[in-house]
Amino acid sequence: MSEKQYSTDVVIIGAGAGGLFAVFECGMLKMKCHVIDSLEQIGGQCIALYPEKPIYDIPGHPAILAGKLIERLEEQAKPFAPVYHLNQRVLTFKRHSDGRFEVTTSTGAAIDCAAVIVAAGAGAFGPNRPPLDNLAQYEGKSVFYMVKRREDFAGKTLVIAGGGDSAVDWAISLAEVARKIYFVHRRDKFRAAPESVARLHALAGSGKIEMVIPYQLHGLAGASGILQAVELADLDGNKKTIEADVLLPFFGIVPHLDAINDWGIKIDKHHIPVNPATQQTSLAGIFAIGDVATYPRKLKLIVTGFAEAAMAAHAIYPLVFPGQELHFVYSTEKGVK
């Protein structure tokens, strides 16, 4: 077996709140899980869109920050040793003659399993890319959509583009380590917290950040993925070139159901219809939970996804342990094992 081939009981697509709780529910029934997510970190919408916002409708938590909820779900899943395959999209799936499945990912992982749970929310999140020629050759070398370590940008000249919280907050943070930051935005209005915008303007006043407004990204100049300059244009077509080492475009993230669209599962307006008694999709052995799953009167709430995770785990049990009867036991009686 190559190091990218794995075998498990259940593959879960999506490490959002629903997918993480499915690891727990499967684990309580002694089923092992591998979890695939296109994002670099677990947490789905809670982490990608609103980690600092309090959620008020999680049972037993009068208020909990979305980021904290994900930490707690990760901790709750941990005893069952889930294997996370992050930063990769799910690609193909095929059914073997013995009824098991193989799921592959964009980084070449191939996972053999007895069942699949699609917990893909609104789909795989990916960066909203600016429409620039030759962008791909710079991605990962000089163009980044996320900041993993601030130190990677120490002493460099950066162009940060965008007008939302990410662009503003990273400009403020990276101003402490970068040589110089050019902040490019197409208009003088921001979709960011007013206090952050005030800090950005204060830093611009001190010369560490130069505001380049109203301009948009127009082109990239360099060679072999190493950026030398970013070309900008204003709305009248006037151009300007800025010498820079790195471009950080923060134009938000967009979801796609992606390759799952081609798996032959019935899909209705970007959602997967399921039987709510089992969460099974139109294909036997493939289940869907959370925001992506639909049935009459479906409520897209985190708590709904939790209940659906439990329903799916119980429906999957006979596929993993054929012929073995499932004796239902409360967690209070059996503990976490």
Ligand X SMILES: Cc1cc2nc3c(=O)[nH]c(=O)nc-3n(C[C@H](O)[C@H](O)[C@H](O)COP(=O)(O)OP(=O)(O)OC[C@H]3O[C@@H](n4cnc5c(N)ncnc54)[C@H](O)[C@@H]3O)c2cc1C
Interface with ligand X (CB under 6 A): 13-19, 36-39, 44-46, 49-50, 55, 57, 89-90, 119-125, 258-260, 290-291, 300-303, 305
Residue nearest to ligand X (CB): 121
196 vs 304, which CB is nearer to ligand X?
304
53 vs 179, which CB is nearer to ligand X?
53
At closest approach, how far in Å is the CB of 296 from ligand X? 18
At closest approach, how far in Å is the CB of 222 from ligand X? 30
- Tokens standing for residue 255: 């979801």
26 vs 181, which CB is nearer to ligand X?
26
Dihedral pair phi/psi, residue 334, rounded to 5°: -100, -15
13 vs 316, which CB is nearer to ligand X?
13
At closest approach, how far in Å is the CB of 299 from ligand X? 9
At closest approach, how far in Å is the CB of 82 from ligand X? 14
Neighbours of 207 (CB within 10 A): 8
13 vs 33, which CB is nearer to ligand X?
13
At closest approach, how far in Å is the CB of 214 from ligand X? 28
273 vs 305, which CB is nearer to ligand X?
305
At closest approach, how far in Å is the CB of 319 from ligand X? 22
Asked if 257 and 123 touch (Cβ cutoff 8 Å), the reply is yes
Dihedral pair phi/psi, residue 331, rounded to 5°: -65, -30
How far is Cα 208 from Cα 201, in angstroms, rounded to an integer?
10
15 vs 230, which CB is nearer to ligand X?
15
At closest approach, how far in Å is the CB of 120 from ligand X? 3
Question: Three-state SS across the chain?
Answer: CCCCEEECCEEEECCCHHHHHHHHHHHHCCCCEEEECCCCCCCHHHHHCCCCCEECCECCECCEEHHHHHHHHHHHHHHHCCEEECCCCEEEEEECCCCCEEEEECCCCEEEECEEEECCCCCEEEECCCCCCCHHHHECCCECCCCCCHHHHCCCEEEEECCEHHHHHHHHHHCCCCCEEEEECCCCCCECCHHHHHHHHHHHHCCCEEEECCCEEEEEEEECCEEEEEEEECCCCCEEEEECCEEEECCCEEEECHHHHHCCCCCECCEEECECCCCECCCCCEEECHHHEECCCCCCCHHHHHHHHHHHHHHHHHHHCCCCCCCCCCHHHHCCC
51 vs 79, which CB is nearer to ligand X?
51
At closest approach, how far in Å is the CB of 6 from ligand X? 16
At closest approach, how far in Å is the CB of 102 from ligand X? 15
234 vs 258, which CB is nearer to ligand X?
258
